[in-house]
Structure 1
Amino acid sequence: MSLIGTEVLPFKAQAYKDGEFIEVTEESLKGQWSVFCFYPADFTFVCPTELEDLQNNYEELKSLGVEVYSVSTDTHFTHKGWHDSSETIGKIKYAMIGDPSQRITRNFEVLNEEDGLADRGTFIIDPDGVIQTVEINAGGIGRDADILVSKIKAAQYVRKNPGEVCPAKWKEGSETLKPSFDLVGKI
Structure 2
Amino acid sequence: MALIGKEVEPFKAQAYKEGEDFIEVTEQDFKGHWSVVCFYPADFTFVCPTELEDLQNEYPKLQELGVEVYSVSTDTHFTHKAWHDHSDAISKITYTMIGDPSHQISRNFDVLVEEEGRADRGTFIIDPDGVIQAVEINAEGIGRDATTLIDKIKAAQYVRNNPGEVCPAKWKEGEETLKPSLDLVGKI
* TM-score category (smaller protein): over 0.9
Alignment of 1:75-94 (within 5 A): 75-94=76-95
Cα displacement (A) at 1:32: 0.4
Equivalent in the alignment of 1:16: 16
The separation in 1 between residues aligned to 2:18 and 2:158, in whole angstroms, is 30
The separation in 1 between residues aligned to 2:33 and 2:101, in whole angstroms, is 26
Cα displacement (A) at 1:29: 1.0
Equivalent in the alignment of 2:44: 43
The separation in 2 between residues aligned to 1:114 and 1:29, in whole angstroms, is 29
Equivalent in the alignment of 1:155: 156
What is the total number of aligned residue pairs between the two structures?
187
Equivalent in the alignment of 1:169: 170
* Letter aligned with residue 55 of structure 1: Q
Q: What is the alpha-carbon root mean square deviation over aligned residues?
A: 0.6
Equivalent in the alignment of 1:53: 54
* Letter aligned with residue 7 of structure 1: E
> Structure 1-normalised TM-score?
0.99
The separation in 1 between residues aligned to 2:31 and 2:123, in whole angstroms, is 18
Q: Percent identity?
A: 80
Look up the SS of the partner of 1:57 in the other structure.
helix
Deviation >6 Å, runs of 4+ = none
> Structure 2-normalised TM-score?
0.98
Q: What whole-Å deviation, never above 9, does each CA across 1:52-79 have from its counterpart, x for those lacking one?
A: 0100000000000000000000000000
Alignment of 1:86-105 (within 5 A): 86-105=87-106
**16-25 or 116-125, which deviates more:** 16-25
* Letter aligned with residue 164 of structure 1: E
Equivalent in the alignment of 2:67: 66
Unmatched 5+ residue regions in structure 1?
A: none
* Letter aligned with residue 76 of structure 1: H
